[in-house]
Structure 1
Amino acid sequence: MTNVGRVKRLSTQWPNRKLSRSGLFLCSLALVAVCSSAVMVSPRPAGAINLKTERAKANALYLQVQKLNSQVDTLGQKYNLTQIKLQQLNHLITNSRQAVIDAQRQVTTNRAGLRQAAINAYINAGAQMMSNPLFSTDAANNGARTVYNNIAEGDLSTSVSSLQLSTIRLTSQRQILRDQQAAAQHARDEAANIYKQAVGAQRQAQRLLNGARGRIAYYLRQAQLKAEAAARAAWAKKHPGNHHGYPPQPNTRAGKAVAFAYSMIGVPYVWAGTSRRGVDCSGLTMLAWRAAGVGLPHYSGSQMSSTIRVPLYALKPGDLLFYGRGGGSHVTMYIGNRRMIEAASAGTRVHISPVRYSGLAGAGRPRG
């Protein structure tokens, strides 16, 4: 295949198409609309907003965030596609540049070769005519000149012109590729810009959703504190000698551990925390059982390994409930009546909650 044919084939494999800009702009308009509606949600909790309303807003924001996540993924893939196509075009242009160089080199080589052929023909024709008695010296010279002129003015000119035409065609094909390269660069830059806008909208919506979740946690915490206070008040009313509001178990280590855990209610969750300024899940259970004279490691998985397995039907207050593979995700303390005390996660405080069976890996009783 000639250089012209090869470059022409390569260029036709890359039709001069633009990305579906309308699709990208529709996505960006959708993102702007979503952000506009989301911004209307106040980022600060207001006392007049009830939990039901806040949950409805959070649900709407959650759906918007999911939609934005999908759009960001799609736009990111479109950007990657434009980058790949631009790289392919750059490769084609490099190949076409080399094809033009090769064609120009062939023109020079052929011109020199044809000239040498003309000289050889002139010499050979002259020698033959000089040895033929039918021709005079002038006739031999005239014949040789005719041969030289035919080659020099005919074959040489034709061959050189053909190669020069090939060079022109190759150069034209290179220009087409350059135009396509410019269009591809523009499409790539446009896709990158829209992708950045989408990411910005995604982050804004996520911030709003986080704010809504924080307000929900606040309202739930207030309701939980009221319920716990009411439960402690009811217990204290029935047991006037117990001023702590939790079931008295003074003669057992488990009772001391439970009592300590109750006293930690309201302490904020702090990752790796082991004090009344803040605790994490295993820090709470470690401190509680330390108060009862039993040592536990500060890691839920290790606590599970160091405790005695207990079937759920035989749970007693003070037993530990472990979650995740090998108990490595979370640990809580069982306090009876299908309830537990836990330091759940960042942004929460130590609180009482119903026993969760989803993800429950098992229960353990500290040795001692």
Structure 2
Amino acid sequence: MASHRKSRPAGSRVAGIRTPALATAALTSVALLSQTATAAPADDRPSLEEVQRKVDDLYRQAGSATEKYNAAKEKTAKQREQVDGLLDSLAARTQELNDAREELGSFAAAQYRTGTSVSDTATLLLADSPQDYFDQNQLMDRLTGRQKQLIDDYATQQAETMEKRREATESLRTLTDAQTDLKTAKATVRTKLSSARRLLADLTAEEQARLAAIEKKKQEEAARKAEELARQQAAEQRRQEEAAAAAQEAASGTTSSSASSSSGSPDPGYATAAEKALAFARAQIGKPYVWGATGPGSYDCSGLTQAAWKDAGVDLPRTTYDQVNAGTTVSISAARPGDLVFFYDDISHVGIYIGDGMMIHAPKPGAYVREESVYYDGESSIHSVVRPA
């Protein structure tokens, strides 16, 4: 006879006690989670050092894109000015051509009334190449001097108008390309800056404090290197002065100024201009960095150097790529106040040297114009030093 007892639910024993299937599954899940936690850390966030490197790299990329934006903006402005000039010239020449056409039309009407050469002149007005028409029909033999001059002027004006129209069309195409480059550079800057801000916004208050400590240590190292450079420069200056004094004493008639010039020191005119440029730069300290800005309320790096030297009477190009070629290259050990210090392989940043291993620059978005060590971003980041004017 069949048993009436209910079958027990499937399960397993834990410490000699049968457990329901649901409890078994829960215990298994806990065990698996414990194993996973042991096998790999739950927090896979990047370290603060990695965050700092990423942020710094994004800011450098934004700086490079800013200089490309500045170049595209300058090219766009020049191209737009050229297009406007060409269109104005085209309009004037078109008016002259219309006037000449009207005068020739009067000439054709007069021929019609006298019954002479009506078809010749009318065909001339419709011809693509008046000179070809003259050659084929020998019309010139039948025209008066005044009439010949009218036709010559018309042919010349027609050719010049067509050339201006071609130039304007090409210039408009170039302007469109420059505007496209400008939009691309602008979008790149914004993307890089947004990425950097997101990385920083994800940090906790504690992480931000630790990151600030890392940055402080980095600045202390940069200051140490600046002091070392200042000592090297002071020693080199003493050596040059001693050499100049010895040369003056050994050779009568050798002036201290000529000895100084032979040692590679900048001339007094440069020192005066540099002093004025530095005075302007110091007056901008505390103003915010804004990419693409040239003052007076804010600056990017090359906008600041351009404005400072302009105040000293020297016109520098707009971008770092061009400013680096606007003077004489010297070594960092020979840098003098007023010299331009360029950074990174792509020459995307610049500051104005003030002496003692320090410079004034507009660092990056979120920062302000300030004095800082030329080693603010590592010794290897210095690209070159240029003495303008």
Same fold (TM over 0.5): no
The two structures have a TM-score, normalised by structure 2, of 0.34
Which of these two proteins has the greater Rg computed from alpha carbons?
Answer: 1
